[in-house]
Amino acid sequence: MTNVSERGETFSTQSKFCRHFVQLESKLQYEINDRMDRPGFALLIDGDNISAEYASQIGKIAQNVAPARFRRVYGDASRLPNWEKTPGFRVIHSGSGKNSADILLAIDAIELACCRQVDTVMIVSSDGDFSHLATRLIERGVRVIGSGEDKSPPGFRAICSEFHILRPRSKQTSSEEMRACPNPQPAKLHDLVRNVVSKHDSASQGVPLVQLNGLMRASHDVRISNHPDKTWRGYLSKRQNLFRLTGEGQETRVHVHPASPLQ
């Protein structure tokens, strides 16, 4: 049978434990509040728009700003193998829907700003639509730094407190450097497209036209927006001796023309 002395000791031990727990909880809450009062820096990259080729440049720009609490790359993870292999960046899978990467990046940026987790955001993209996001962040007192390729529109550049141009690495005449070039010569581009279509047309049903843009970016870092034709449909339609299009609208598929064997 427990005597009064033992019950007193048990109660005393429980009281000490409770006081210790309350003190620990208070300390943790203070640290959380303190962290919230010292917002950080978020580096947010549109991976569907910016190649991992620029990772080193982006990292150097970010280092001159502040230690980045968030270093995220948004896009369809299945098409961003090079970003997945790049250390120091977290790939956020946005799915394969149109503009899904842009939307998720914007949501995260606004959430981080509203929760006071950041006071500086670096948006890395050549997409001028991000000027709207930059404007809203600035209205909330967030400093916005922009970075993108030379084709980045003036409106997006102007709204940012500073904008850094990403320069492609020096072009070499070797086949490997030609593949990395965002503006390959037309004859080389033909070969790249034919190889991609042939590789992904395992059932001889053609490759969906809506997927070609992502496949060309992931495989060869090629952007049709840098080509005079601007769209893959326009480019392929002018080269019917090399490629054949079947179907309509979203169901359009690309085939390598039988009379145009791979070189």
Closest CA to 145 of 69, 86, 58, 72: 58
DSSP secondary structure letters along 211-247: HHHHHHHHHH---GGGSTT-SHHHHHHT-TTTEEEES
More confident residue, 99 or 123: 123
Give the predicted TM-score (pTM) of the model. 0.54
CATH number at residue 238: 3.30.420.610
Where in the sequence is the domain holding 193, given as residue range(s)? 175-256
- Calculated CA dihedral for residues 179, 183, 189, 195, nearest 10 degrees: 40
10 Å CB burial of residue 90 (0-12, 13-18, 19+) is exposed
In 3D, which of 217, 218, 200 has the Cα closest to residue 256? Answer: 200
Residue finishing a domain among 165, 195, 230: 165
Q: Is 185 helix (H, G, I), strand (E, B) or coil?
A: coil
Structure confidence by residue, pLDDT tens digits, 150-190: 999 999 999 999 999 999 875 333 444 444 444 444 447 88
Query: Is 154 among the domain residues?
Result: yes
Q: How confident is the model at residue 97 (pLDDT cuts 50, 70, 90)?
A: confident
Amino acid identity of residue 100, one-letter, is S
- CA dist 113 and 259 (Å) reads 56
* Residue 65 token pair: 């700003």
Q: Looking at the structure, do residues 181 and 153 belong to the same domain, yes or no?
A: no
CA distance 228 to 34: 53
Please report whether residue 29 resides in a domain.
no
| Residue 2 within any structural domain of the chain | no
Q: Element (H or E) spanning 163, and its range?
A: strand 162-165
What are the CA-CA distances from residue 63 to residues 96, 129, 131, 190 (Å)?
31, 26, 23, 39
Does the pLDDT at position 259 exceed 70?
no
Q: How confident is the model at residue 121 (pLDDT cuts 50, 70, 90)?
A: very high
Decide which of 113 and 32 is more confident.
113
Residue 73 sits in a domain whose CATH number is 3.40.50.1010
Domain-terminating residue out of 112, 133, 165 = 165
Q: How far apart are CA 119 and CA 127, in angstroms?
A: 22
Over residues 65-83, the pLDDT tens digits come to 888 999 999 999 998 989 9
Number of domains in the chain: 2
Q: Measured at the alpha carbon of residue 251, what is the angle toward residues 246 and 252, in degrees to the nearest 5?
A: 35
Quick one: 157 and 44 in the same domain? Answer: yes
C-alpha pair distances (Å), 181 with each of 51, 59, 83, 233, 243: 11, 21, 17, 21, 22
User: Do residue 160 and residue 57 come from a single domain?
Assistant: yes
In a domain, 204, yes or no: yes
Task: Identify whether the C-beta of residue 55 lies closer than 8 Å to the C-beta of residue 45.
Answer: no
Choose among 238, 236, 263: nearest CA to 252: 236
Dist. CA 244–CA 236, nearest whole Å? 8
